A and B are shown apart, each in its own frame.
Chain A
Amino acid sequence: MAVIPVERKPLTFAERTYIPQIVGGLRTTLKHFFRKPLTLEYPEQRPALPAGYRGVPTLVKDPNGREKCVSCQLCEFVCPPKAIRITPGEIPADAPTAHVEKAPKAFDIDMLRCIYCGLCQEVCPEEAIWLQNQFSMSGYTRAEMVNNKEKLYELGGTLPDAHFKWDKKKAAEEHGNAH
């Protein structure tokens, strides 16, 4: 390896008095003094979240207000830290959405276990579970940190995605051409 001798220049008299450097430094700090602070004052100001942000997992409804989850339990099986507990339930036969057959009776996500990996969202065949933008979960007890079904729907809201898979399936069956 070639050695390149670099000549170290002796300091000039002005440099040895420190003064030009000090004046330069003072100019730099004064420039920052008049600059607007960069601090994000958190509870009042929120950071802009990027698209696809993985926050707290939530359950969503479709535009007709039907809960999209059919309690297939795939998310429960895929969840690496086992944060999800689903108790599957039947939809009563007289309900307008009886053709969907199943819905969760209980759906709990333990946010003390959740690692926000997003596998539940990825695995869901019904697009019912979404990791949305909420990122600050807090509570005073362990029980408070378990999101039950009501809480999950409250956090999730409605997915404005109008393809109504189950309704189309029912309509096709009625026309005699299932699938």
Chain B
Amino acid sequence: MFDFYFEIPLWIRLVVQGLAVMLVMFPIAAACSMAERKIAAWIQDRPGPNRTIAPILAWIPGIGVLQRLGLFQLAADGGKFVFKEDAVPGHVNKLYFIAAPIIAMIPALTTVVAVPFGAYIDSAGKLVPLVLANVDLGILVVFAVSSLGVYAVILAGWSSNSKFPFLGGIRASAQLISYELSMTLSVLPVFLWTNGPLATDAPGSFTGSLSLARVVEFQSQPGFLGGAWFIFLMPLSAFIFLVALFAETNRQPFDTVESEADLVNSFGSEYGAFKWSLFYVAEYSHMLVGSAIFMILFFGGWNPLPWYTLSDLAHHLHFAQLPVVMGVVGIGIFIGKVLAMIFFFMWVRWTLPRFRYDQVMAIGWRKLLPLAIANLVAYAIGMALLYR
């Protein structure tokens, strides 16, 4: 049915797929800003933004629901960012000042390339992951590219040529570098496990891969140990990764980078209009990709329940022969999980106060990093003993 699609030249297909992913991700990232406001409001017993509506749409019956959800407020805010004057202050270094938000967007939207978001069973009966580039590098691509995001922050802080943005840029770079170590160390047990001796027994296995799709396949195996999500096998890794993820995405309680009370708007202080909004879309994109990675590594990716895989669901509901349906269901489950994670981010934001900057550094270097190293050593020894 879809043979014609596979006859199109590869590069056109890749462009189409890339655009499709971006067209899903960009609006979700933008809508997160409204979700943030609504969740803040609901947690504080308020209704949140619910008045804005385009007069030409007001006659449509039932549109009040969207109005109450603040959808038109989101559109109005977005429109405002596009149309308002985009002033560049006179004292900034113009080239880098304008480059910084662009550089912020590039890694934020690039990392999604290596993130698988669904799977289908092809005509040969093989489970094929849906991913823009199913490369063996997997997690390494994500870590390498997403850490480039720090350059945007440093550039923005430095080129703004003013005190608070500069301090914010310095803080951001120090924080991102500190937590990257713990983050990387915390996922190593997962990849030790997926590349360990058990891996050679896995169906369709190939050894030596950091592919994220493979991590999900590993959580989709039959049996008690095979079907367990890694949160059950490695809760400490998941915890460290989660904490580091909060710090990496500059979210409360680690948002010292944007602490308005001491840094105005931090590296965004001198920015306005569309350039300012790009930083925030980039931040939400980082959150989306980070949540996706967390769900893949520890919560079974697109599998609906632990010990109950997407293939099981497809066989029970008889759509295993329909690759399109299965792909859409898988993507739906995965996006649902990622959005639940985004909700958790926001829920935490409106619960916790931010840490002081020295506390952030102390937690990162003196608590989380030793814990991550100990965790890695313990799992390495445990796996060595298990498969001796």
A: residues with CB less than 8 A from B are 22, 25-26, 28-30, 32-33, 35-39, 41
Contact = CB atoms under 8 A, between A and B. Distances in A.
B45 interface: yes
A30 B42 CA distance: 9
Contact of A39 (B39, B43, B47, B352): B47
Given A37-B41, A37-B42, A26 B47 contact: no
B346 to A, nearest CB: 10
Contacts of B348: 22, 26
B42 A33 contact: yes
B151 interface: no
Contacts of B46: 37-39
15 contacts: A22-B348, A22-B351, A22-B352, A25-B352, A26-B347, A26-B351, A28-B351, A29-B347, A33-B43, A33-B347, A36-B45, A37-B42, A38-B45, A38-B46, A39-B46
Nearest to A16: B367
Given A22-B351, A25-B352, A32 B47 contact: no
Given A22-B351, A38-B45, 8 more contacts: A22-B348, A26-B347, A26-B351, A29-B347, A29-B351, A30-B347, A33-B347, A35-B45
Contacts of A36: 45
A11 B54 CA distance: 55
B340 to A, nearest CB: 13
Nearest to A30: B347
A56 B348 CA distance: 47
Contacts of B351: 22, 25-26, 28-29
Contacts of A37: 41-42, 45-47
Contact of B45 (A26, A30, A32): A32
Interface of A is mostly: helix
A33 B39 contact: yes
B345 to A, nearest CB: 12
Contacts of B352: 22, 25
B224 to A, nearest CB: 28
A28 B45 CA distance: 12
A132 B43 CA distance: 37
A56 B47 CA distance: 30
A33 B349 CA distance: 13
B280 interface: no
B138 to A, nearest CB: 30
B350 interface: yes
B47 A41 contact: yes
A30 to B, nearest CB: 7
A38 B43 CA distance: 11
B44 interface: yes
A125 B45 CA distance: 48
A29 B46 CA distance: 13
Interface in B315-373: 347-348, 350-352
Nearest to B42: A33
A29 B42 CA distance: 9
A62 to B, nearest CB: 43
B41 A29 contact: no
A24 B375 CA distance: 26
A39 B41 CA distance: 10
Interface string B170-202: 000000000000000000000000000000000
Interface in B148-179: none
Nearest to A37: B47
A172 B226 CA distance: 105
Interface string B32-53: 0000000101111111000000
Contacts of B39: 33
Nearest to B41: A37
Closest 6 CB pairs of A and B: A25-B351, A29-B351, A37-B47, A38-B45, A29-B43, A33-B43
